[in-house]
């Protein structure tokens, strides 16, 4: 496995975004999120990424396991959380939700991708955490 650096994480994110663009190019906007998710997972797996979908993670509050779980849409290479949407309007709450997921899981980077748009590049957001800033650049 490659050394975990900011550059390495950004390279994975670049591959993920490329896969999302490919799916959107083939399917276009207007479908259910579950359809995009299936195709997106297939595309990322084909690109050599390690993909887990609908990942249940335990919630710890002040060091105590509460017996509840948080469900992530997609976790790639155990480093990047991908929150996917198929919505008409991206609201600020979606970014806040992804930031909360990143904080709770201590993952360094997250991608918010909306497949229900004309230009998918305009329907994406990339977020990093303090964990990301602690990593070496290269």
Q: Domain span at residue 46?
A: 6-133
List C-alpha distances in Å: 1 to 45, 57, 77, 110.
Answer: 17, 23, 10, 20
Question: Is residue 138, in this structure, part of any structural domain at all?
Answer: no
Six-digit token pair at 23? 């799916």
What is the pLDDT, as a whole number, of residue 2?
62
Q: Does residue 127 lie within any of the structural domains?
A: yes
Single out the residue of 78, 103, 104, 99 nearest to residue 112, CA to CA: 99
Examine residue 104 and state whether it is found in any structural domain, yes or no. yes
Burial classification of residue 74, based on how many CB atoms lie within 10 Å of its CB (0-12 exposed, 13-18 middle, 19 or more buried): buried
In a domain, 28, yes or no: yes
Q: What is the pLDDT of residues 24-38, one digit of tens each?
A: 999 999 999 999 999
Q: Which two tokens stand for residue 92?
A: 């600020």
Radius of gyration of the chain (CA): 15
Tens of pLDDT, residues 89-110: 999 999 999 999 999 889 999 9
Each residue of 16-68: pLDDT tens digit? Answer: 999 999 999 999 999 999 999 999 999 999 999 999 999 998 888 898 998 99
> Over the range 88-116, which residues count as b (16 or more CB within 10 Å of their CB) and which as e?
eebeeebeeebeebbeebebbbbbbbbbb
Whether residue 60 lies inside any domain: the answer is yes
Half-sphere exposure of 112 (CA within 13 A, CB side): 21
What is the spatial distance between Cα 138 and Cα 123, in angstroms, rounded to a whole number? Answer: 28
Residue 53 inside a domain? The answer is: yes
Residue 80 lies in a domain: yes
pLDDT of residue 102: 95
Task: Note whether residue 1 is domain-resident.
Answer: no
| Distant-in-sequence, close-in-space partners of 70: CB < 8 Å, separation ≥ 6 | 56, 57, 58, 59, 101, 104, 105
Instruction: Give me the number of domains the chain comprises.
Output: 1
Q: What is the pLDDT of residue 77?
A: 97
């Amino acid at each position: 496995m490659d050394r975990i650096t900011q550059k390495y994480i950004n390279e994975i994110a670049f591959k993920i975004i490329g896969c999302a663009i490919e799916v959107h190019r083939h399917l276009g906007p207007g479908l259910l999120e579950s359809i995009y998710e299936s195709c997106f997972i297939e595309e990322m797996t084909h690109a050599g990424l390690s993909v887990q979908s609908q990942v249940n993670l335990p919630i710890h509050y002040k060091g105590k396991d509460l017996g509840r779980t948080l469900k992530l849409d997609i976790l790639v290479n155990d480093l990047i959380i991908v929150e996917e949407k198929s919505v008409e309007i991206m609201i600020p709450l979606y970014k806040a939700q992804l930031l909360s997921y990143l904080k709770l899981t201590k993952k360094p980077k997250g991608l918010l991708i909306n497949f229900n748009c004309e230009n998918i590049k305009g329907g994406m957001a990339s977020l990093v955490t303090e964990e990301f800033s602690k990593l070496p650049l290269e």
